[in-house]
Homo-oligomer: A and B are copies of this chain.
Amino acid sequence: MENTQQFINANKQRFLDELFDLLRIPSVSADPKFKGDVLKAAEFLAEKLKVAGMNNVELMATDGNPIVYGEKIIDASKPTVLVYGHYDVQPADPYELWTSPPFEPEIRDEKIWARGACDDKGQTYMHVKAIEAMIANNELLCNVKVIIEGEEEVGSVNLNPFLEKYKDKLKADVVLISDTSMIANDCPSITVGLRGLSYMEVEVVSSNRDLHSGVYGGAVANPINVLCEMIASLKDENKHITIPGFYNDVRELSADERKGLNSSPFNLEEYKKELKLTEVEGEKGYTTLERTSIRPTVDVNGIWGGYIGEGAKTVLPAKANAKISMRLVPNQNSEKISNLFAEHFKKIAPKSVTVKVTAHHGGEPVITPTDTVAYRAASKAMEKTFGIVPLPGYEGGSIPIVASFESILGLKTILFGFGLDTDALHSPNENYGLFNFYKGIETIPYFYQNYAEMSK
């Protein structure tokens, strides 16, 4: 790996410049107005896979955004790594809260600031450049196939059919994904647990039109008040979720497992300070680390209704809406929970309103095993570049496709993320450390080396 590492070192600025070009493309998959940019990002990555020396590079059509594919088969007897990433990004609004514009990347404080800097353009691009470095130096020791999709931020709705259709083409031995974070730069970790997601949208309607709150207030149900009451009732005074059956399938960790989880370095005062929290809040009986990893949640992601302009308008609105999502843990099932939510939410609605509940995309919670060759190869790679054995980590976010790789392709996944919790994913001022970007590129080749050797 000597030559590969030298190559990486010699091309650091070029790698960064290229990433900046990718970050300048506002490939927001949730918003149809960025459709053209989404495609542009796909084309950009296809071009870079070709430059990296990969073969059979193409944009593979789906019912939505195309999936970028490339492969490099060096020897059929060697193990094959399937790399997954995504080129779409979250919406960047509210724009006014960004210090620098979300699609004009810049370096400040040794960090790259842009929407997608980490999630997942920065992390995906580490793989593209590591592969380029290995191929250029004849040091690629496994076969590699890359798929980069454009709908991860909207639920990867077309990925499962794609995996089904191209089962043979995508044959591999392990999936490698960098779309998670480590505990800290001096405390690397490999994610082994991920929460799932159910994402709902609700509408509460009372009357056929907005009304004057003076004339009708008090007698006609106010859909905002009603929605608030319904949302409030979703948790009890211990912040325990009240949806019947919600916890039925939740895997309770053993005392030892909880002890292990809580031994991760974590400083509550620093956590509060970093986020300017007056106090943390969550389910009674669990620590902050547990609340964000092994316990399910109900969070309102958005709410709107009535008059939200300047000044005062005495309207009794006709309807109110909210986006409400639930983070799930093993062994909850996203569809089951979505159905439980929908059933419960309609049931608790008072007679004075009509309620509509629709489900957005969901994702299944995941636990990846640590007793595999691939995990040991990843662990050893990090040990090599960080000088420390990485811890197994639990994360609160969701990567729904991990479950799909297992069920459709029969493959385990290594969540080989180099981000940090402070990277402000999905928030204004998303960023990614230069340290992390380059450390990822350096570490990835060792994974291939270890995996090839250990698989013998």
- A interface residues, Cβ below 8 angstroms from B: 30-32, 90-91, 93-94, 97, 154-155, 181, 195, 197, 199, 201, 206-222, 224-225, 227-229, 231-233, 235, 275-283, 288, 291-292, 295-317, 320-323, 325, 327, 350-354, 360-361, 395-398, 421, 424-429
Answer whether A282 and B218 are a contact pair too, CB < 8 Å, given A154-B312, A276-B208, A325-B314: yes
Q: Given A30-B309, A31-B310, A396-B217, A428 and B303 touching (CB < 8 A)? A: no
CB distance from A275 to the nearest CB of B (A): 4
The answer to whether A351 and B278 have CB atoms under 8 Å apart is yes
Given contacts A210-B428, A213-B327, contact A315 B303 (CB under 8 A): no
Cβ A224 vs Cβ B300 within 8 A? yes
In angstroms, how far is the closest chain B Cβ from the Cβ of A277? 6
Is there contact, CB below 8 Å, between B277 and A207? yes
Q: Taking the full assembly, how many copies of this chain does it contain?
A: 2
**In contact, B325 and A312 (Cβ under 8 angstroms):** yes
Residues of chain B within 8 A (CB-CB) of A206 are: 277
Q: Closest B-chain residue to A361, C-beta based?
A: B312
Q: Which of B218, B306, B323 contacts A327 (CB 8 A)?
A: B218
Q: Which residues of B contact A291 (CB under 8 A)?
A: 218-219
Q: Roughly how many angstroms separate A421 CA and B281 CA in the complex, as a whole number? A: 45
Q: A211-B427, A212-B427, A312-B361 are in contact. Are A320 and B292 (CB under 8 A)?
A: no
Select which of B296, B297, B301 is within 8 A of A312 by beta carbon. B301
Query: Which one, B235, B304, B312, contacts A199 given CB within 8 A?
Result: B312
Contact B209 A292 (CB under 8 A): no
Q: A282-B218, A300-B224, A352-B280 are in contact. Are A210 and B397 (CB under 8 A)?
A: no
| A278 with B315: CB separation less than 8 A | no
19 contacts between A and B (CB under 8 A): A31-B310, A31-B311, A93-B307, A155-B312, A209-B428, A212-B424, A212-B426, A213-B426, A217-B327, A218-B297, A219-B292, A224-B301, A225-B300, A278-B351, A278-B354, A280-B352, A301-B312, A312-B360, A313-B426
CA distance A291 to B154 in the complex (A): 45
Which of B201, B213, B214, B277 is A220 in contact with, Cβ under 8 Å? B277
Contact of A303 among B221, B224, B323, B397 (CB under 8 A): B224
A360 to chain B, nearest CB (A): 4
